[in-house]
Amino acid sequence: MNFDDPLIRMAMVLVSGIIGGELVGRIKLPKVTGWIGTGILLRMLDGYLTTSHGLKLGLDPDAVSTFGPYMNFVLGYIAFTVGAALHFASLQNTGKRLGLLLLCEALITPAVVFFSLFILGGMDTKPALLLSAIAICGAPGTTVLVVQEARARGILTRTLVAAVALIDMVAVGMFEFVYAFIRVPGGGTMSLQAGLVNVGTEFGLALAVGFTCAGLALILIRTVVGPAFVGPIMVAVILGSWGAARGMDVSGILACTFAGIAVSNLRHGTVRSTEAYLQSIGGVLFAAFYTFAGMKLDFSQVWPNLSLVLLFFAFRFIGKYSGAFIAMYFANATNAVRNFLGLALLPHGGVAVGLILLVQNDPTLSDHADVITTVGLAALAINQLLGPSGARFALNSVGESGKARPRLLDFLDEHRITVTVDGNTKQAVVSSLVDQLYATSDMPIEKEEFVRQVMKREASESTCVGHGLMIPHAILDADAKMEGVLGISRKGLDFRTPDGRPVHAVLLLATPENERERHLEILSAFAHLITHDENLCEQLYHARSAAHAYNVLHAEAAEEINYFLEEVLEEFRDPNPSKPNP
């Protein structure tokens, strides 16, 4: 049999990866860990058979290079998906957390890693600088896979998924700066200004490529392409962005990330079409990709550099954890996010592989390529073997695993909550909340008409229900989904109420005709909260941030009011329910 045929190699790698992932999944570890480990074993098996029996399976780095376009597409898809997660309207309450985290990632992680390699490990300056920049990289694909497998939802999950995209952009920028700085012909040095110009040019060209490809695709979708081909058009965006970027000698990862950002913020629904289109083959894409990634590591080069590998791994983790902890401390994040975000950032993935390969293929860095490749890939393999489990442990520890299921109050996500609502009149308060509603939701009627309907309803009968709660709303003559925002005032709003108490929470609801039943369920849930659970009520009314308010409403203690809808359906089917219907 001819094992040199690329399709046979692909089949062997794919089947092996699937088996490895399934076996690892049975012991409750992320499948990506099994894929990486399978790749490492395949390379070792190929070497053993070649040496001992003269049988070469072709499962070595040459096999990976054969599938270069495939690997590039999966990297581009990962970058596009993570860029699409940066829907700015949905991240408006996370800006402080993300900003501080990126600052700490850009300063603390590379500084800690450089110190360990240069001072403790005695590594030369150039490889130490490059590995320090590579250490910033996260693993968007791995992180998204772990989140999906864990069915996680919450503040840590939201921060993590948004952060990994931006962290990789910071890593690429830092790497490009260091890369340009040390590659000056003749062994000279580049000025700080020239290095910054180089990074700015890289980002500017990548942004232009990504936005151009995304813009052309959206024009086609509006004018020519039908709904059935939205997914394929987005695949073309990924391919075009990567190819055009490589043709201009800029980062394909950045270009695809910018393309995802453009599509998400210009036509958000298109992102879901793309994900749905590729979901059916997602197992093929990721299983083969990460198995191939594991095959890149040459263990014969690891043992002579084992001390450097361990230093890189250990101090990268120290940098990641301390940087995330410091950032979340100053961002006033919840204790759960502060304590576990650093652990969740441990995975190290595709972008780091791309940067290592860039060094490996540069003849001007041939003196340092071997040590960078060995240390970088060996530590990456350890991170990919342990990192997904660390991320899963973090999600489990903060109670966000299994929460990505429909719940009654799902529309009250963090970006639809504010804790600074204020106003002297109901009109002013409602108008401010309507602005937030329209900034974060696709509404079927004009803003002014919605405000008029809400205030007309308020004039006929006050929605101040007592106990500090007000629920202004309007019933929309449209076939849409329930939308709403929650405004919290810690000091209280001085409105006329049945019990004379100031209003601390204003729940603004936009209810379509087809959601009237859910509207009543939500009113019942909040009435139950304010009258039966004083502790939860006080936590909500005095929440320090939107994230704290979100945690109150989505915590286990609140499941009696913010229940999982599928559990309610099961109870209706069960003739002897274990607990009464909400």
For the ranges 119-128, 481-490, 571-580, the lowest mean pLDDT is seen at 571-580
Taking CA atoms, 131 is separated from 111, 175, 183, in Å, by 11, 9, 15
pLDDT tens-digit readout, 41-71: 888 887 766 666 666 666 666 666 778 788 8
Q: What residue has token string 């390529």?
A: 369
pLDDT tens-digit readout, 141-164: 778 778 878 888 888 888 888 888
State how far Cα 355 lies from the chain centre.
Answer: 20
Higher pLDDT among residues 80 and 531, named by residue: 80
CATH number of the domain at 7-397, please? 1.20.1530.20
b or e along 435-450 (b: 16 or more beta carbons within 10 Å of the residue's beta carbon)? ebbbebbebeeeeeeb
Runs of H (alpha helix) within 267-305: 268-279, 282-294
Please report the pLDDT score of residue 571 as a whole number: 41
Percent above pLDDT 70 for the chain:
85
Nearest to 490 by CA among 449, 444, 546, 430: 546
Residue 64 and residue 294: Cα distance in Å, rounded?
A: 10
Mean pLDDT of the chain: 81
Please report the pLDDT score of residue 553 as a whole number: 79
Nearest to 212 by CA among 166, 250, 235, 245: 245
Taking CA atoms, 249 is separated from 73, 174, 205, 358, in Å, by 17, 17, 9, 12
**What is the arithmetic mean of pLDDT over 373-385?**
81
For the ranges 245-254, 288-297, 317-326, the lowest mean pLDDT is seen at 288-297
Please report the pLDDT score of residue 569 as a whole number: 36
Please report the pLDDT score of residue 230 as a whole number: 81
pLDDT band at 243; cut points 50, 70, 90: very high
Total Cβ atoms within 10 A of residue 283: 14
Quick check: 493 pLDDT over 60? yes
Please report the pLDDT score of residue 563 as a whole number: 57
Please report the pLDDT score of residue 116 as a whole number: 94
- CB-based contact 238:256 (threshold 8 Å): yes
pLDDT band at 510; cut points 50, 70, 90: confident
The domain limits of the chain are 7-397, 414-573
Please report the pLDDT score of residue 566 as a whole number: 47
Residue 353 and residue 168: Cα distance in Å, rounded?
A: 12
CATH number of the domain at 414-573, please? 3.40.930.10
Please report the pLDDT score of residue 350 as a whole number: 67
Q: Which residues contact 396 (CB under 8 A, 6 or more apart)?
A: 150
Quick check: 476 pLDDT over 80? yes
The pair of structure tokens assigned to 501 is 């108490």
pLDDT tens-digit readout, 62-100: 666 778 788 888 888 877 877 787 777 766 667 788 889
Residue 32 and residue 350: Cα distance in Å, rounded?
A: 12
Please report the pLDDT score of residue 129 as a whole number: 92
Please report the pLDDT score of residue 438 as a whole number: 87
**What is the arithmetic mean of pLDDT over 509-524?**
80
For the ranges 214-223, 245-254, 394-403, 555-564, the lowest mean pLDDT is seen at 555-564
Rank 2-11, 12-21, 141-150, 372-381 by mean pLDDT and report only the highest: 12-21
Higher pLDDT among residues 253 and 392, named by residue: 392
Transcribe 98-125 into DSSP letters: HHHHHHHHHHHHHHHHHIIIIIIS---H
